[in-house]
């Protein structure tokens, strides 16, 4: 019988929606995890908690060293988790996520990828360009290169990193769209930022009807990666072309209506009931 729901990081309001369960909110950064005799336990804030179900609300903004190991324990335990541990593991590495988008035939931004020091000098300089170092979300590890000097300085900087990096052309977009789906329900949010990174320093956002192509891209990836919850970040150009940047299996919910939260709650409860 499922009695506990463990929420990893994330928003503080979730407990209000799951009154029928013992809800515990833990932090990935401070918790310890144990798998024994097929049971999953988490230790945090002086408590030992049996994990019967999981709502995972921490993405790869800055991946924690134990992030992958814990998700593998969750996967092995088989406890109901939203999203599944398998998808959360795929989302944890940006190159895996980009492969998923490519295999789904979505219109990706063309990029070059480098693993190992000293190879940025082998790439043709095409400005303006965006460099993305490692697997980070929320705008971290990213920079726009607009001048020869910036390109040369970045060549020196990436020599010192152990992370892979990608370089892609800067897309002169008219709007950034986050399309979020829970099950077969879809919402779209147009965002504009104070800088070239439209998803950080947001100065304006508004719900919009999901453009047909964007809607179809989102549901295509939902089905392809077997997601309960998924967001696609997409740039739209003045010519009406769409360029998919990434999918996010643990998307932020700011500026989305409360119906999104209600849909996630309904989806989580359905997963718990199916496992009971």
pLDDT tens digits, residue range 132-163? 998 877 678 889 999 999 999 999 988 888 88
Which of 138, 120, 137 is CA-nearest to residue 129? 120
221 and 256 share a domain? yes
113 CB contacts (<8 Å, ≥6 apart)? 95, 164, 165, 166
Same domain, 258 and 185: yes
Mean pLDDT of the chain: 92
Q: pLDDT digits over 26-38, tens only?
A: 999 999 999 999 9
- Asked, for residue 104, whether it belongs to a domain, the answer is no
In three-state secondary structure terms, 203 is: strand
Beta-carbon contacts of 211 under 8 Å, excluding residues fewer than 6 positions away, are: 177, 188, 236, 242
Count of domains for the chain = 3
Q: Is residue 272 part of a domain?
A: no
| Domain at 159, CATH number | 3.30.1490.20
Which percentage of the chain shows pLDDT scores above 70? 95
pLDDT tens string 62-74: 667 789 999 999 9
Strands (E), 129-221: 129-133, 142-145, 165-169, 173-182, 185-193, 202-208
Q: 252 and 176 in one domain? A: yes
In a domain? residue 52: yes
Tens digit of each residue's pLDDT (9 = 90 or more) over 193-235: 767 776 666 678 899 999 999 999 999 999 999 999 999 999 9
Mark whether 184 and 227 lie in a shared domain: yes
- 193: CATH: 3.30.470.20
pLDDT of residue 159: 87
Residues 190 and 240 occupy one common structural domain: yes
Q: Which domain holds residue 155?
A: 112-169
What distances in angstroms separate CA 42 from CA 12, 30, 53, 169, 187, one per listed residue?
18, 10, 12, 43, 34
Predicted confidence (pLDDT) per residue in 78-89, tens digit: 999 999 999 999
User: Is the same domain home to 83 and 47?
Assistant: yes
70 in the same domain as 16: yes
How do 81-82 and 22-26 pair as beta strands?
unpaired
Q: What is the CA angle 126-128-130, rounded to 5?
A: 95
Cα gap 179→144, rounded to integer Å: 24
Pick the last residue of a domain from 134, 169, 204.
Answer: 169
Give per-residue burial for 38-61: e unless 16+ CB within 10 Å, then b: eebbbebeeeebebbbbbbbbbbb
Residues 134 and 86 in one domain: no
Is there a domain that residue 203 lies in?
Answer: yes
Q: What is the pLDDT of residue 196?
A: 77
pLDDT at 194: 66
CA-CA distance, 205 to 70, in Å (whole number)? Answer: 34
For residue 135, the model assigns a pLDDT of: 81
Q: Which two tokens stand for residue 126?
A: 């095409």
User: Looking at the domain assignment, is residue 82 inside a domain?
Assistant: yes
CATH number at residue 26: 3.40.50.20
Q: Are 201 and 240 in the same domain? A: yes
Could you tell me if residue 51 is inside a domain? yes
Residue 136, domain member (yes or no):
yes
> Which residues fall within 8 angstroms of residue 268, CB to CB, at 6 or more apart?
5, 18, 53, 55, 80, 82, 228
- Residue 215 resides in a domain: yes
- Domain shared by 37 and 18, yes or no: yes
Mean pLDDT of 225-246: 96
- pLDDT tens digits along 160-176: 888 899 999 999 999 99
88 and 131 assigned to the same domain: no
Nearest-CA neighbor of 255 among 195, 183, 198?
198
**Residues 179 and 147 grouped into a single domain:** no
């Amino acid at each position: 019988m499922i009695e506990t729901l463990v929420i990893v990081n994330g928003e503080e309001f979730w407990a209000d929606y799951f009154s029928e369960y013992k809800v515990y909110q833990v932090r990935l950064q401070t918790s310890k995890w144990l798998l024994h005799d097929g049971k999953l336990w988490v230790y945090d804030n002086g408590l030992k908690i049996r994990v019967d179900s999981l709502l995972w609300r921490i993405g790869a903004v800055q991946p924690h060293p134990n992030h992958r190991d814990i998700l593998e324990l969750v996967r092995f335990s088989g406890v109901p988790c939203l999203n599944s541990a398998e998808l959360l593991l795929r989302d944890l590495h940006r190159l895996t996520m980009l492969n998923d988008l490519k295999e789904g035939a979505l219109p990706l931004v063309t990029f070059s990828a480098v693993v190992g020091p000293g190879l940025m000098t082998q790439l043709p300089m095409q400005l303006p360009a965006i460099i993305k170092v490692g697997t980070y979300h929320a705008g971290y590890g990213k920079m726009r290169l607009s001048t020869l000097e910036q390109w040369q300085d970045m060549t020196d900087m990436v020599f010192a990193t152990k992370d892979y990096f990608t370089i892609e052309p800067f897309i002169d977009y008219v709007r950034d769209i986050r399309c979020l789906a829970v099950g077969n329900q879809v919402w779209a949010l147009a965002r504009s930022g104070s800088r070239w990174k439209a998803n950080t320093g947001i100065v304006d956002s508004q719900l919009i009807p999901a453009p047909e192509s964007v809607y179809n891209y989102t549901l295509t990836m939902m089905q392809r990666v077997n997601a309960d919850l998924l967001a696609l970040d997409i740039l739209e150009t003045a010519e009406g072309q769409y360029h998919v940047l990434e999918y996010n299996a643990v998307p932020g919910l700011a500026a989305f209506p409360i119906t999104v939260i209600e849909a996630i709650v309904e989806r989580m409860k359905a997963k718990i009931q199916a496992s009971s």
